[in-house]
């Protein structure tokens, strides 16, 4: 097993396995507890300190009741690659529903509620349940529904910050935060006032997680990122490992019309974990 920031990643990662699906959720949500120093991206030039910023910062959050998209997801780790299609539906602050399939065959169906994650693996004919409270204790960081929803829709995952921890250049506000033993740098576009990049750095190992949002489309008078990419770099023994996950959204809809969230575990399926 590989370890990054208390996230355990199987050597046998496959997009259509239950364990790798959960790993993807954890990959987009890595935080722990302890104060650290920061390591800002050196490729962002000419940053100035917050005390020179006079204007209020009004970050645009995604406004919706129901969200849906059909997307493509790509995975690579330097040794293998995989891809699949995924349908995503969200009822704001309530339910995240995902359906992952390849060649027209459904592999994974998941439903995430405010306190739990439910996953059906149709390939192995089994299901898993996970409790956010138990997962947070197991991985020693605060994994929760709000964090996952924010990352999927491109909102800043941790809302609270102090203005003295904001930097600025010609392209971005850079909002710097700490959460446990990680530093978090949020890059907010000056033009769109939307999150475009997120860098998470673990102080002890200097492992990094980079999230980027691009290919913004104007949807209901709001810029929404059609492309999300996560790049995880961590050390295993003397080797540097790079894991990349990319989601390309198509057919994005933000609506007030209720969506369906079909989820039923067949009686013949076996429970795979204790939850």
Q: Is residue 108 part of a domain?
A: yes
Task: Catalogue the long-range contacts made by 190-194 (C-beta closer than 8 Å, 24 or more residues apart).
Answer: 192/60, 192/216, 192/223, 193/57, 193/58, 193/59, 193/60, 194/59, 194/60, 194/154, 194/223, 194/225
Extract the tokens encoding 9: 């990643």
Highest mean pLDDT out of 2-11, 22-31, 179-188, 233-242: 179-188
| Per-residue pLDDT reduced to its tens digit, 101-129 | 988 888 899 999 999 999 999 988 999 99
Number of compact structural domains in the chain = 1
Extract the tokens encoding 133: 């409270």
Extract the tokens encoding 223: 């810029």
Domain that holds residue 125: 2-263
Over the Cα atoms of the chain, what is R_g? 19
Judged against a pLDDT cut of 80, whether residue 22 lies above it is answered with no
Distance in angstroms (rounded) separating the CA atoms of residues 162 and 84: 40
| Per-residue pLDDT reduced to its tens digit, 166-194 | 988 889 999 999 877 778 899 999 999 99
Residue 35 has a pLDDT of 30
3-state DSSP call for residue 268? coil
What's the whole-number average pLDDT of the chain?
79
Q: Is residue 35 part of a domain?
A: yes
Q: Is residue 270 part of a domain?
A: no
Q: Is residue 271 part of a domain?
A: no
Residue 193, CA distances (Å) to 74, 161, 188, 210, 252 in order: 27, 16, 6, 19, 20
Q: What is the 3-state composition of the chain as percent helix, strand, coil, each rounded to the nearest 5?
A: 10, 45, 40
Q: Is residue 273 part of a domain?
A: no
CATH code, domain with 170: 2.50.20.10
**CA atoms 153, 155, 156, 157: torsion sign:** negative
Q: Is residue 272 part of a domain?
A: no
Judged against a pLDDT cut of 90, whether residue 159 lies above it is answered with no
Q: Is residue 15 part of a domain?
A: yes
Q: Is residue 168 part of a domain?
A: yes
Extract the tokens encoding 275: 């939850």
pTM of the model: 0.78
Residue 126, CA distances (Å) to 49, 92, 123, 147, 259 in order: 52, 28, 8, 27, 26
Torsions phi, psi for 17 (to 5 deg): -115, 150
3-state DSSP call for residue 101? strand
């Amino acid at each position: 097993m590989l370890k990054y920031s208390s996230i355990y990643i199987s050597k046998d990662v496959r997009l259509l396995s239950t364990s790798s699906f959960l790993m993807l959720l954890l990959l987009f949500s890595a935080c722990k507890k302890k104060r650290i120093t920061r390591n800002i991206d050196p490729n962002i030039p000419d940053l100035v300190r917050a005390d020179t910023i006079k204007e209020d910062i009004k970050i645009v959050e995604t406004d919706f009741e129901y969200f849906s998209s059909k997307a493509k997801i790509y995975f690579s780790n330097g040794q293998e690659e995989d891809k699949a299609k995924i349908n995503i539906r969200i009822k704001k602050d309530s339910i995240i529903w995902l359906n992952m399939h390849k060649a027209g065959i459904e592999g994974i169906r998941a439903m995430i509620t405010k306190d739990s994650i439910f996953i059906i693996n149709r390939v192995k004919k089994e299901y898993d349940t996970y409790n956010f409270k138990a997962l947070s204790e197991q991985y020693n960081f605060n994994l929760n529904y709000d964090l996952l929803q924010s990352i999927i829709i491109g909102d800043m995952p941790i809302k609270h910050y102090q203005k003295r921890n904001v930097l600025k250049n010609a392209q971005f506000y850079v909002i710097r935060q700490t959460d446990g033993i990680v530093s978090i740098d949020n890059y907010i576009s000056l033009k769109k006032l939307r999150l475009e990049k997120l860098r998470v750095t673990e102080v002890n190992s200097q492992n990094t997680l980079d999230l980027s949002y691009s290919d913004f489309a104007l949807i209901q008078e709001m810029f929404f990122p059609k492309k999300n990419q996560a790049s995880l770099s961590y050390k295993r023994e003397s080797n540097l490992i790079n894991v990349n996950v990319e989601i390309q959204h198509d057919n994005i809809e933000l609506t007030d019309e209720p969506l369906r969230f079909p989820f039923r575990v067949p009686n013949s399926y076996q429970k795979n974990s204790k939850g």
